[in-house]
Structure 1
Amino acid sequence: MQKNPSLKRSLGLWAIVALGLGYMTPTVVFDTFGIVSKQTGGMVPLAYLVGLVVMLFTAISYGKMVKVFPSAGSAYTYTRETMGPHLGFLVGWASLLDYLLLPLVNAVIIRLYMEALFPDASAWIWVLIYVAFVTAINVYSMRSTSGVNTILVVFTMALMIAFVVLGTIQLSKGMGTGTLLTIQPLFQANMDTAAILAGATVVCFSFIGFDAITMYTEEAKDINTVPRAIALTVLIGGAIFFIGAYYAQTLFPDVSVFHVVDDTLPEIALHVGGVIFQLIFLAGAFAATTASGLASHSSVSRLLYVMGRNGVLPRKLFGYVHPKFRTPAINVIFVGLVSLLAMGPSLELVASLINFGALIAFTFVNLSVIAYFVFKKKQYKTPKQVFSYIIMPTIGAAFTGVLWAFLQADAFIGGIVWVVIGMIYMLFMSKVFKRNIKDLDLDEAEQLPS
């Protein structure tokens, strides 16, 4: 038994990609389709294309930073090491809101699914069973989490393919536009650019899985695969979202057919494939949500682990690694306890707060590239360096900045309150921060086995 146990390197390229795709929850394109279609005037695929472009620039920045700092911690680590521990803490704190709420959101969705199937049962039972299942798998091992997640992702992909096949058949029979080859979902003479950007703000956070991938850097068999996994996750996830949105938009040019616009997945499945396919597709959505729950639960546990290891959070608790399972077991259990709060709030209330932390993380990862390569390493003397380390991350930061303009007021208010709490905590722990600045360097952290 190791004296100072560390995270176990057990994840290959496609296992990490599967975790990212699982985090993204591919079926969410159908859950939010009605909302975005109404918002964009029937141009959901275009909103996803805009979102994909924004995420690609930020994904490239993540790929650059993960090579420089091959440690779990994501935006927190990159900001901490390039712009200082105090700003890094605030970015990590803001991201923590995002990451902590994502497992809770999945628990809320599962609760809603089960309430629809069993309306007479108490809602807390489903939350308790689901959270206990996800927590137990994450405590046991990362390999188990990855394995279960991969099975669920494959099942979800199979159902997405089935939807495309059935959708093609329905289009050939005259449903919707009656043809797959139409420019309408991508261009309209009277399209509203502001509405498209607002829709892109909603769909962008479907891509959040690529960000979570960096949390598995210390568990990757080869850290050089992580940047590739980031790019693959964004591209594959973006393709899945675009294809799903394009088929849904050609099948349903407007939202008039839906009784419940806020979550159109059940009705989409019913109209495309009938009652049997609807039940199967709901099972796929359940699987996708569980996969996302596994991935989001494990990633936030690792963010807490890095913050605990660095002394930002109490090290004995949050920096603990189970000596046998080699997982951040206390953090996993803590996230499980937070997820139990899904017994009460609505999905809209929780989801409205997630956007704030995600945009802060995306913005500062782009800025970290500039801070590290330009200001620290002085790599701005060739056209290639200017393009890679100034132009590209600046565009990425600017794109995320545009999305800030379309955040809901509730997201701003809740996010600001959370950041203020973090600032108060940082001031209270200022002596600890000073000690960490002098004594702790991530390069001096325990070496992880290869």
Structure 2
Amino acid sequence: MSNQENSLNRQLKLIHVVVLGLAYMSPFAVFDTFGIVSDITSGHVPIAYLIVFTAILFTALSYGKMVKIYPVSGSVYTYTQRIINKNLGFLAGWITFLAYLALPMINALLARIYLSAGIPAVPGWVWIVLLLLIITLVNLIGAKVTASVNLILVVFQFLTGIIFIVLTIRSITVENQSPLFTFNTLISESLEINSLFAGASLLALAFIGFDAITTLSEETINPKKTIPRGIILVAVIGGVFFFTVTYFMQTLFPDVSVFNNIEGASPEIAAIIGGNLFLALFTAGALTSVFASGLAAQTSASRLLYAMGRDNVLPQKFFGYLHPKTKTPVFNILLIAVLGLSSIFITLETATSLINFGAFFAFSIVNICVIVNFVKNDNEKKFRSVLTNIVFPSLGLGFVIYLWVSLNWYAIAFGLCWIILGVVYLFVLTRGFQQDPPQVNFDELEG
């Protein structure tokens, strides 16, 4: 079978790409982290988001540059393989998959937490199995259907967020009769730089999602134009939403120590500003976020595995297979669902650690790819080119390295074990590194 025949359907437009990116990012994550980060930063969550958004934007620009050169589904795997080294490219895909695999686990765990709290009589594992079953069935139908479902879910999340903002504003101006805009919400005497960056390092995870849409390049119409736009739009929309929501939350509650549970500060705020009726709506929004993010994560992970399978880096008959009718990598989708069942046995902290390691590696290597590609191929070292191809990715890389330093020992230890496993597999695949790993003909895929 030729590469052209064994290819994904180009059917996604900008709206589909943006929606899948936002769903993967999970806008409602802003509520899950508010109490913890507000405590760490002494009430400066909005400015922490502003810092991390500025830093993440540099990495988003790097992804945009790479997808213009290689508009295929392999994402960081393809970029590294083509620009730096074929063996390192395999390891990039191997490590990045760790993050894509862990996000469905996290969403399954969150579904269990939310639903078990509301319906404690049902065993927690039932909710995990049910979530994975539903997102798998939707993904098997096709990427466009997945995007359409996520459009509804993302719109619901943003509408709930907007209602949250309106009710918070009412509480600030009407009930508390306080000024709506105050500089102290951003910067006050209690601000400490170290704690601010510690909080920012946690919030960086909220932006994971803009990079995942690069795995949809082969299913996107005019990917060299659409995907870079989608990347920036997802990062900007997420950044504006996160900043706005936390600004008004922090204005209303500058000190989160007043809450019974800092980790559950947002539901308490929802009950305070809107009563039990809005709390029910807010809980529905949280569950919607879990479902949408899990759906998008499974889509991205299956496409990354497909790219590696098509290249025969992973067994082609399984990982490189597409259903002849739906043009979806059905075996990959089913495999990710089965692996996701491991969330029955692991903790939320463990799954988060896996995402941290895989995502930060991907962010680092993409920034390096931009720099290496520029040094190799750009003969005209003009100021603007140096700025966008050396300075910007270097800033993005520097921030990601800081995030690496902040990882806990478990994430680093598990990540290193995963790398060693990948090296062993690559050693066998290339017969002791005497051969290059297989790769697909890129020219046949571009379109």
Q: Report the TM range for the smaller structure's normalisation.
A: over 0.9
Q: Judge conservation of contact 1:110–1:286 (CA < 8 Å) in 2.
A: yes
Look up the match of 2:273: 272
Q: Judge conservation of contact 1:197–1:403 (CA < 8 Å) in 2.
A: no
Matches within 5 A, 1:15-34: 15-34=16-35
Look up the match of 1:58: 59
Q: CA deviation at 1:272?
A: 1.6
Between the aligned partners of 1:6 and 1:387, the Cα distance in structure 2 is: 36
Look up the match of 1:351: 352
Between the aligned partners of 2:403 and 2:395, the Cα distance in structure 1 is: 13
Q: Judge conservation of contact 1:108–1:342 (CA < 8 Å) in 2.
A: yes
Between the aligned partners of 1:161 and 1:97, the Cα distance in structure 2 is: 33
Matches within 5 A, 1:281-320: 281-320=282-321
Q: Judge conservation of contact 2:313–2:439 (CA < 8 Å) in 1.
A: no
Q: Judge conservation of contact 2:430–2:436 (CA < 8 Å) in 1.
A: no
Look up the match of 1:259: 260
Alignment partner of 2:381: what SS?
coil
Between the aligned partners of 1:315 and 1:431, the Cα distance in structure 2 is: 18
Deviations 1:61-81 (A, max 9, x none): 100000000111111111111
Q: Judge conservation of contact 1:201–1:407 (CA < 8 Å) in 2.
A: no
Q: CA deviation at 1:425?
A: 1.7
Look up the match of 2:108: 107
Q: Judge conservation of contact 2:150–2:292 (CA < 8 Å) in 1.
A: yes
Bigger Cα displacement from structure 2, 58-67 vs 248-257: 248-257
Between the aligned partners of 2:135 and 2:66, the Cα distance in structure 1 is: 30
Look up the match of 1:417: 417
Q: CA deviation at 1:265?
A: 2.9
Bigger Cα displacement from structure 2, 339-348 vs 64-73: 339-348
Deviations 1:305-331 (A, max 9, x none): 111111221111111111111001100
Look up the match of 1:447: 445
Compared CA separation, residues 188 and 379, structure 1 to 2 (3 A): farther
Q: In the alignment, does 2:171 pair up with 1:173?
A: no
Q: Which runs of 4+ in 1 moved over 6 A?
A: none
Q: Judge conservation of contact 1:312–1:433 (CA < 8 Å) in 2.
A: no
Look up the match of 2:6: 5
Q: Judge conservation of contact 1:47–1:199 (CA < 8 Å) in 2.
A: yes
Q: CA deviation at 1:432?
A: 9.2
> Where in structure 1 are there 5+ consecutive unaligned residues?
none
Q: CA deviation at 1:440?
A: 3.3
Between the aligned partners of 1:331 and 1:8, the Cα distance in structure 2 is: 17
Letter of the 2:439 counterpart? L
Letter of the 2:267 counterpart? P
Between the aligned partners of 1:39 and 1:184, the Cα distance in structure 2 is: 17
Structure 2-normalised TM-score? 0.95
Letter of the 1:72 counterpart? S
Q: CA deviation at 1:262?
A: 2.2
Between the aligned partners of 2:445 and 2:418, the Cα distance in structure 1 is: 33
> Where in structure 2 are there 5+ consecutive unaligned residues?
none
Bigger Cα displacement from structure 2, 310-319 vs 296-305: 310-319
Between the aligned partners of 1:267 and 1:379, the Cα distance in structure 2 is: 58
Q: Judge conservation of contact 1:374–1:380 (CA < 8 Å) in 2.
A: no
Between the aligned partners of 1:225 and 1:378, the Cα distance in structure 2 is: 24
Compared CA separation, residues 141 and 441, structure 1 to 2 (3 A): closer
Q: CA deviation at 1:46?
A: 1.1
Between the aligned partners of 1:388 and 1:413, the Cα distance in structure 2 is: 34
Alignment partner of 1:209: what SS?
coil
Deviations 1:88-109 (A, max 9, x none): 1222211111110011111111
Alignment partner of 1:260: what SS?
coil
Q: CA deviation at 1:29?
A: 0.7
Letter of the 1:443 counterpart? F
Look up the match of 2:378: 378
Bigger Cα displacement from structure 2, 90-99 vs 3-12: 3-12
Between the aligned partners of 1:151 and 1:434, the Cα distance in structure 2 is: 50
Structure 1-normalised TM-score? 0.95
Compared CA separation, residues 273 and 372, structure 1 to 2 (3 A): same
Alignment partner of 2:431: what SS?
helix
Between the aligned partners of 2:379 and 2:45, the Cα distance in structure 1 is: 40
Q: CA deviation at 1:252?
A: 1.5
Look up the match of 1:367: 368
Letter of the 2:241 counterpart? I
Q: CA deviation at 1:222?
A: 1.6
Compared CA separation, residues 215 and 38, structure 1 to 2 (3 A): same
Letter of the 1:440 counterpart? Q
Matches within 5 A, 1:186-197: 186-197=186-197
Letter of the 1:415 counterpart? G
Deviations 1:76-131 (A, max 9, x none): 11111111111112222111111100111111111111101111111121111111
